[in-house]
Amino acid sequence: MRPLFWLISALFVVQTVFPLIRSSRWWIRMSDFPRLQIASALEVLLVAYLLLFGVTDRWDILYLLTVVPALSLQIFLIFPHTVAAPNQLMKASVH
């Protein structure tokens, strides 16, 4: 069961890293837009992994060291587009 978690998580980690590559190829650029879905999937996988297996050996630590930064990067890239982020535009003055 653990290898299945590792494989699926690795696919989402790769989807997180692809947009960092400077390329205009569609199969790399396709990962630019489903950030919320990728972050949600990584979160579900991480919580399920911790609930089912816990952290018992170095493979679990390696899993955490790959999934947590990928999830953090996705959240960092999503945050500016949320309501919680500060506005970047000044309010217009009325003449």
pLDDT in tens, 2-42: 999 999 999 999 999 999 999 999 988 899 899 999 999 99
Angle between helices 2-17 and 35-52 (to 10 degrees): 150
Q: 15 with 73: CB under 8 angstroms?
A: no
Question: Mind listing the pLDDT tens digit for each residue in 35-90?
Answer: 999 999 999 999 999 999 999 999 999 999 999 999 999 999 999 988 898 888 87
Q: Is residue 41 part of a domain?
A: yes
CA-wise closest residue to 29 among 38, 39, 19, 20 = 19
- Would you say residue 1 has pLDDT above 80? yes
Q: What is the pLDDT of residue 48?
A: 98
Q: What is the pLDDT of residue 91?
A: 79
Quote the number of domains for the chain: 1
Q: What is the pLDDT of residue 90?
A: 78
Q: Is residue 61 part of a domain?
A: yes
Q: Is residue 14 part of a domain?
A: yes
Coil/strand/helix, residue 41: helix
Q: CA of 78: how far to CAs of 17, 33, 36, 46, in Å?
A: 15, 10, 7, 18
Range of the structural domain that residue 48 is part of: 2-81
Q: What is the pLDDT of residue 11?
A: 97
Residues 37-48, buried b or exposed e (16+ Cβ, 10 A)? ebbebbeebbee
- Would you say residue 92 has pLDDT above 90? no
Q: What is the pLDDT of residue 20?
A: 93
